[in-house]
Amino acid sequence: MPSFDIVSKVDPQVLDNAVNVTKKEITNRFDFKDSSVKIDLNKKDMLLDLEAESDMKVRQIVDVLISRSMKQGLDPLAYDLSKEPYPSGKITKKQIPVRNGLKQEDAKKIVKLIKDSGLKVQSQIMDDVVRVTAKKIDDLQAVIKLCNEANLGVALQYVNMRS
């Protein structure tokens, strides 16, 4: 039976490349001349630490990071931008967690979306992966289209396609 997995994973090397390109662009920008900027990626915890002189500069760093990530092929939804920048002495800091893996509630949303669609497929949650099986590949492609059109707020990838 044809099947595939729905995952939400971020390649650490692509993320590292996006962060390095962002660092390079920020150091070369005129509006960041002579200002202390720190962009650190903690690969173990998948956490980005940003530091700049003002709230506005932190927001500019985030904008550059998102645009460079998109050029690297990363979905901007992989970044959890819900936390606001906070002042710490003379600098402003912001932590951006990188979403890696489907959370249980996101997986349940995906399964509910698939079941409500009425397609003849079976979906099951396996840790941080949703496995979808069907008798026809066309049904699987319909599920991919359905998940892409639904705004779930999660960066999804479709891997492990078997026929």
| Domain range 3-8+101-162, CATH class | alpha beta
* Domain 12-97, CATH: 3.30.70.990
Domain with CATH 3.30.70.860 in the chain: 3-8+101-162
Between the CA of residue 155 and those of 4, 92, 139, what are the distances in Å? 16, 28, 21
Nearest Cα residue to 85 out of 122, 112, 52: 52
The predicted-structure confidence for 12-36, as pLDDT tens digits, reads as follows 999 999 999 999 999 898 988 888 8
CB 97 within 8 A of CB 46: yes
At 79-115, the pLDDT tens digits run 998 889 999 888 999 999 998 888 899 999 999 999 9
Q: How confident is the model at residue 40 (pLDDT cuts 50, 70, 90)?
A: very high
> How high is the mean pLDDT of the chain?
90
The boundaries of every CATH 3.30.70.990 domain in the chain are: 12-97
Residue 73 DSSP SS3: coil
In angstroms, the CA 69 to CA 130 distance is: 25
What pLDDT score was predicted for residue 65?
94
CA 160 to chain CA centroid, nearest Å: 19
Mean pLDDT of 53-65: 92
pLDDT at 89: 86
How many Cα atoms are found within 13 Å in the side-chain-facing hemisphere of 41?
17
Q: Flag whether pLDDT at 151 surpasses 90.
A: no
